[in-house]
Structure 1
Amino acid sequence: MRDPAPAPRTVPPLTGGLADSLFETAVRRPALPMLARRRGPGSAHWDEVTAADFRDQVADLAKGLIASGVSPGDRVAILARTRYEWTVFSYALWAVGAEVVPIYPTSSRDQVEYILRDAGCVGVVVEDEQSVMTVGSVCAVLPALRHVWQLDAGAVDTLVARGASLPFTTVDSMRRIVLPDSTAVVAYTSGTSGRAMGCALSHRGLAAPCDTLLAGWAHTVAPPGEQGAVLAYLPFSHVYGLMIQNLCVRGGFLMAHEPAMTGEALSSALRSFRPTYLYAVPSVLEKIYKNFLRTAQQEGRGALFERAAATARDFAGALERRRLGRGNGPGLDLRLQHALFDRTVYRRLRTALGGRVQRATSGGSPLSRELSLFYEGIGVFVHDGYGLTETSGALTMQPLGREKSGTVGQPLPGTEIRLADDGEILVRAPSLFQGYVGDEAATRRVMPGGWLATGDLGHLDTENYLAITGRKKDIIITSGGKSVAPAALEQRLRMHPLVHQAVVVGDNRPCVGALITLDPEFLSHWRAGLTLQGDAPAREAREENALREEVARAVAAANSAVSRSESIRVFRVLPEPFDVANGLLTPSMKLRRDEIVATYALEIDAMYEARSHRRPPQAPQAPPEDPAGWEEPENVFLR
């Protein structure tokens, strides 16, 4: 083992439950706006909900839950998108000492059944009639399930009416006996390989990273004198989204909800709500970047945008070198160029994000250095962090004034990180989970010596910045014995505007290959920009050749970041994306690699077989790691 990183000071420990912060804020600052609700579907107007009103709504709902027989320690699932009622229900459940079991609204019938049964839920909050039917179809095998509350059918009003006769003191008394080490959430892992595991997260564990981040970074959420405003749109079913909710409530930030994950809905919400701080996952930041590029190209300003983007990255890189003590910062020419693009390009990009965002956080997976520098260069500093379901959220953050793109920052105060001999990241933190529900053996396996074995690979540099290189189980070993981490290649492939998804393959193969899906929106835009001559068959052939060349350029760009033996030599473009519906993505939108490889086994075989037939006959004994005839990527499109 390598030496662990030192653990800095910690914040004061939690003394009660998560609901306490809301009730305390309502007493201290009753008029503080805490939540924002859209006035109606698609409305650009948001009505603010004060701390006192929010507390009263939570208390009234909690009384209804008590009247319905929900007791401390009972588990209630929430199967819904990110919406106002999700927040009210979660705090009401915590106020009575119940445990929240988040379920992704995209989950299949079997996944819903498994989680409700495995967690032993006594109730489930659903959003619509379709979810009611899903739960209803599995009720027969769920003897513990007593309640199904449908939000769109007035569940909140029904419960409030049921508990109307109970006094407020009933809720207040129950809230005050919730202990910090009581379980607050049972969050299920993504299940990318094998069954999902229920992680028991305590009130203390969920509060710890929030309070640490608030102690050191809260002042970055908004300009001095302004209340921070955050748009919640990522699923609360994921611990990252849940952490953002708790950060807002504990930090007194104004939080709005956007349940629809479409680009159009998110764009509309950003422009109307105008958050001061943005939180995202890399795929969202990649999509925003591609939308910027596509819009510029449609306006005939594509070349201008690309020059502006390059300038933004150069400018941010120079700023980074200066703050790390490795340079003098941007030179005069670069400053002038950046100032010009700020007036003509960057300001428009910031306006598209609402016009008030100056900083952001990325989580869920590592953010590419190029994308991080781009956003910093246009005036939106993105902090890339790292955490897991088992750690109740964040473990690292970028130190202010010493941010380093391409890393996930340094360990949070109170958190220790060290690396195993094989590069696996081991952590010890106050936010560690209480264990996997019903599986003590699995808990012991991932906690050798009290350190959580994360399954992630990374490295710590001399200044204690952590960089994530991939998942241990995802490492590919070619037939020549070369170990390849696919994450970096996939990340760089996705940076090309045409590429939607990428899965690198190559286990026991002579070289690395890739399965690629295309972004349908950008593909339509790209096709519209082609000027091809000839009859229909000729134009179709020329279009396919042009598309093949464009994807090959994306592969070449990705290969430029790795050694020759790690580079992609063969690839296929698939006719449809990986999706939750076809079983190739988890509900949290993570790749099911084993399922993808199994589903496309024949195509993968054909991809390698087609290339092997092109080997020159005079070189049959070429080394398997670098065989002759594999110098250029294979261009094979599936119909």
Structure 2
Amino acid sequence: MYTIKDFDKTALIFRDEKITYKELLQSKEKYSKLLKMKKEVKISIFAENRPEWIYTFLASWSKGGTNVLIDAMATSDEVAYILNDSDTEIIFTTNKNEKTLFEALKTVKNSKEVRIINIDKIKEEDFKYDIGKYIKSEDEVGTLIYTSGTTGEPKGVMLTMGNLMNEINNTIKLGMVEKSEKLLVVLPFHHIYPLTATFLIPMSLGLTLVFVEKLTGEEILKIMNKYKINLIVAVPRIFELFHKSIMKQINSNKIIKLLHMISKKIYSLKVGKILFKKVHQKFGGEVGMFISGGAKLDKEIVQDFWAMGFKILEGYGLTETAPIVALNSRWGKIKAGSVGPAIPETEIKIVNEEILIKSGVVMKGYYKRPDATKKVIKDGWFYTGDKGYIDNEGYLFVTGRKKDTILLSNGENVNPEELEKNIIKTSELIKEIAVIEYNNQLLAMIHPDFKFARENNILNIEETLKWNVIDKYNLKASNYKKIGDIRIIKEELPKTRVGKIRRFKLKELLTETKKERIDIEEPNTEEYQIIKEYLKDFMQKEVYPDDHIELDLGMDSLDKVEFQNYIEQTFGFKINSEEMVNYSIIKDMVNLIEKKKLKIENKKTDWKELFNKSTDIELSQSALLLKLLRVVMKPITKFYFKLEVKGLENIPNEACLITPNHQSFLDAFLIVDSMNYDKIQKSYFLAKVKHFQSDFRKKIAKNSNILVVDINKDVKVALQKSAKLFDYNKNLILFPEGARSRNGKMMNFKKAFAILSKEKNVPVVPVVIDGAYEAYPIGSKIPKSKKIKIEYLKPIYPENMTYAEIQNKVQEQIQKRLENS
């Protein structure tokens, strides 16, 4: 059975203290003196990773106990569930976890019979029982580990000593670890993967384990350099963080980026190690290999690290299989994207896409759940619930989880992990993402990287994600894989400790209502009360100090402009866009106001006053290019699109807003073609500054009646410049939807045009574009020959109308005309 010998070397390094194998074995024997019990008594370990965790685990076995492993970060409810279900009689804990344990014991049946041993409070007189000499048999349960609960209620997995010894012996044959190595311990032992891969297997061979307490990149690199770590066993999430940081630096230097591309083509570990020597030095210079498990690792990460001279072994398994059943061998061929062939003495086959396992590592069953056991173990085969395939060389490829597969109403199957990986790699603004089916469409739940947003001055997170990330993904995705909507999630997504998303909890996040948070202490300042009352009235929502102005209160870009202006009017100082990003939490915003305020005079936003402030705009020297464009477009629109134009007489001679619906990329060209020269001469389009940064493009703008604004960075200035046009008796052509239709249906209009119309007292001319979507839908490369109609409706004058009334009337008139066409 399982034994650890005195290898006459350091076994553990914890907080710079070195513990030899001899000292470890002595501590195990000492800890066994804490235990007086019958064999197979359930002993729970509810503690963080530390040497005493190992002593306790081994001491329990030496007395014939069954170890029940509990996540050190579990809630009191989760702890209570495991203690009740496992029939625990003895529990080891620490000062750090004692409070949670006592809370859990309040709901544990027979809690008075549970003996608690606090590792931090053990006294010498407690070591009073005989040292155990019990040797557990192969059939006895060695450990009871509760599944992470990614799909529902956790179940206790009974792993026998035979299961664990099969796992240890067969993975050693593949060179998973070597005796001379120092292994970095970053994962909690309560999970089966780190239990075997970073404790039981390496300690049976005599490796040195080095503990990391703080899971930060800085701390990990510090420990690796200090102790010259050779091997890291971790989950994809950790390797993804390393990869993201390294690739960011590589991609910032054209020469290094080219070297990486060349090394990727050569695909030689030796070449990669030479070319990227500095990267190896950052990891301490001694790392020979990474081992990844617990979840699927992106193939590109494996290839990128290999190009830098790092070998990554990816494996596959489950808690029910102790866990590894497939692994790329240290000495054999490694296939990026594959978890390797089956380990020795293990059979893997695919039935109806599902991965089935037959091996000595397969669990005895689920504790007290014979029916659940029968559902997954049939005729000696364990049904994993995972989907995959085996290639002609016997390598296993895992493609997803059967229960996670989304079945759409059209019969298509979608693997959410595939979509999530494709989307997250396109933007650093996404920290976490989960795709689910919601209201008969695919919905992306996104937890943004707020630090990245601040560093890059991204004021409107949701708009940026929707149009710069998801929309670009949708253009390339198959129809059934397109994302229909997004939800921004303020907190991290629910995950297991090894980083797997707990998908069954995702929809709860969407249906949760904001409850009154009476435990949050509100600042007792005049500034806070003023801001709270203003926002409560303005956004029609309850307001709390830790609310995010966009994610909790739902502010859009225009709301933020109003809020900025309110702060300026009320407190006498200007708050810029960068500060709006950095102080987007209410209590932080109030702190800023308290520091910078020059007065307190509660005044609401006056758009008219804002628009009348002095603003410089550069009018075009001529509309020459627009007129030339009209000449070029005329035969195309006439013969190819058979363009029909009505209602030009409805454009007044005075300055006005022209507001077409937005169906396709053709719309602006069609509007130009539909007008006569006089109207073109005095009509302006808005354009984003990022499209007109070169001198050549700036010249185009000057000769094309294009007003260049930075809408994303400063909406306030963009609105002021737009309003200034009317002072010169110019027209402004504005697409109120803010973006092209993605499905041919008109989107809701934004209220900016209504504010401009009301405060500058200019009429709005609704414009109906019909047929442009059918001619040139988004994603198409070449426009189709389809009939297109443009109709200019009668102007709507803003007198005696509110912003909302103007907005609704314009939208309704265009919508009605489209429905009747």
Whether contact under 8 Å (2:225, 2:284) holds in the other structure is yes
Whether contact under 8 Å (2:46, 2:94) holds in the other structure is yes
Whether contact under 8 Å (1:294, 1:522) holds in the other structure is no
- 1:148 aligned partner: 116
Distance 1:249 1:553, change over 3 A: farther
Distance 1:518 1:307, change over 3 A: farther
Whether contact under 8 Å (1:35, 1:49) holds in the other structure is yes
Tell me by how many angstroms 1:236 deviates: 0.8
Distance 1:445 1:315, change over 3 A: same
Amino acid at match of 2:222: S
Tell me by how many angstroms 1:571 deviates: 4.4
Structure 2 unpaired stretches of 5+:
514-553, 555-737, 747-775, 781-821
- 2:230 aligned partner: 276
- Given candidates 174, 193, 217, the residue that maps to 1:240 is 193
Structure 1 residues 545-554 or 235-244, which shifts more? 545-554
- Given candidates 176, 182, 205, the residue that maps to 2:163 is 205
- Given candidates 580, 592, 598, the residue that maps to 2:508 is 598
TM-score by length of 1: 0.75
Whole-Å separation in 2 of the counterparts to 1:142 and 1:269 = 43
Whether contact under 8 Å (2:423, 2:473) holds in the other structure is yes
Find the residue that maps to 1:487 and give its secondary structure.
Answer: helix
Amino acid at match of 2:510: Y
- 1:43 aligned partner: none
Alignment RMSD, CA only?
Answer: 3.2
- Given candidates 384, 403, 417, the residue that maps to 2:314 is 384
Whether contact under 8 Å (2:235, 2:499) holds in the other structure is no
- 2:49 aligned partner: 82
Larger radius of gyration between Structure 1 and Structure 2: 2
Whole-Å separation in 2 of the counterparts to 1:615 and 1:550 = 18
Q: Per-residue displacement from partner, 1:221-275 (whole Å, max 9, x unpaired)? A: 45xxx71110111011111010121011112111122233233332322222221
Amino acid at match of 2:148: S
Find the residue that maps to 2:349 and give its secondary structure.
Answer: strand
1:254 aligns with 2:208: yes
- Given candidates 28, 51, 55, the residue that maps to 2:25 is 55
Whole-Å separation in 2 of the counterparts to 1:72 and 1:612 = 70
- Given candidates 20, 32, 48, the residue that maps to 2:9 is 32
1:564 aligns with 2:495: no
Whether contact under 8 Å (2:406, 2:436) holds in the other structure is yes
Aligned pairs for 1:128-167 within 5 A = 128-129=95-96, 131-140=97-106, 141-143=108-110, 145-151=113-119, 153-155=120-122, 158=123, 161-163=125-127, 166=130
Same amino acid, percent of matched pairs: 23
Whether contact under 8 Å (1:415, 1:428) holds in the other structure is yes
Q: Per-residue displacement from partner, 1:109-134 (whole Å, max 9, x unpaired)? A: 111100011001112222324x2122
Structure 1 residues 261-270 or 467-476, which shifts more? 261-270
Whether contact under 8 Å (2:462, 2:488) holds in the other structure is no
Find the residue that maps to 2:175 and give its secondary structure.
Answer: helix
- 1:229 aligned partner: 182
TM-score by length of 2: 0.59
Tell me by how many angstroms 1:505 deviates: 2.1
- Given candidates 442, 445, 450, the residue that maps to 2:380 is 450
- 1:503 aligned partner: 434
- Given candidates 708, 722, 743, the residue that maps to 1:615 is 743
Find the residue that maps to 1:591 and give its secondary structure.
Answer: coil
1:555 aligns with 2:485: no
Distance 1:412 1:547, change over 3 A: same
- 1:585 aligned partner: 495
How many residue pairs match? The answer is 525
Tell me by how many angstroms 1:553 deviates: 7.9
Whether contact under 8 Å (1:476, 1:485) holds in the other structure is yes
Tell me by how many angstroms 1:147 deviates: 2.1
Whether contact under 8 Å (1:293, 1:305) holds in the other structure is no
Tell me by how many angstroms 1:142 deviates: 3.4
- 1:437 aligned partner: 367
1:214 aligns with 2:172: yes
Find the residue that maps to 1:111 and give its secondary structure.
Answer: helix
Whether contact under 8 Å (1:181, 1:203) holds in the other structure is yes
Whole-Å separation in 2 of the counterparts to 1:118 and 1:544 = 43
- 2:71 aligned partner: 104
Find the residue that maps to 2:506 and give its secondary structure.
Answer: helix
Amino acid at match of 2:206: G
- 2:392 aligned partner: 462
Whether contact under 8 Å (2:339, 2:398) holds in the other structure is yes
Distance 1:523 1:372, change over 3 A: farther
Tell me by how many angstroms 1:50 deviates: 2.2
Whole-Å separation in 1 of the counterparts to 2:506 and 2:321 = 28
Tell me by how many angstroms 1:586 deviates: 3.6
Amino acid at match of 2:21: A
- 2:345 aligned partner: 414
Whole-Å separation in 2 of the counterparts to 1:183 and 1:90 = 13
Whole-Å separation in 2 of the counterparts to 1:508 and 1:572 = 12
Tell me by how many angstroms 1:476 deviates: 0.9
Aligned pairs for 1:531-542 within 5 A = 540=459
Q: Per-residue displacement from partner, 1:334-373 (whole Å, max 9, x unpaired)? A: x9xx66x944xx2222222222111111001111110011
Find the residue that maps to 1:64 and give its secondary structure.
Answer: coil
Tell me by how many angstroms 1:491 deviates: 2.4
1:71 aligns with 2:1: no
Tell me by how many angstroms 1:611 deviates: 11
Find the residue that maps to 2:173 and give its secondary structure.
Answer: helix
Amino acid at match of 1:570: G
Q: Per-residue displacement from partner, 1:448-490 (whole Å, max 9, x unpaired)? A: 2111110100011111111111110011122211111111222
Find the residue that maps to 1:86 and give its secondary structure.
Answer: helix
Whole-Å separation in 2 of the counterparts to 1:104 and 1:418 = 32
Aligned pairs for 1:4-23 within 5 A = 16=1, 18=2, 21-22=3-4
Find the residue that maps to 2:398 and give its secondary structure.
Answer: strand
Structure 1 unpaired stretches of 5+:
1-15, 40-46, 321-334, 528-538, 619-627, 633-639
Distance 1:252 1:601, change over 3 A: same
Amino acid at match of 1:315: I
- 1:401 aligned partner: 332
- 1:331 aligned partner: none
Find the residue that maps to 1:256 and give its secondary structure.
Answer: strand
Tell me by how many angstroms 1:213 deviates: 1.5
Amino acid at match of 1:268: K
Amino acid at match of 2:115: H
**Which structure would you say has the larger RCO, counting Cα contacts within 8 Å and 6 or more residues apart?**
1
- 1:373 aligned partner: 303
Amino acid at match of 2:488: L
- 1:310 aligned partner: 261
Amino acid at match of 2:14: R
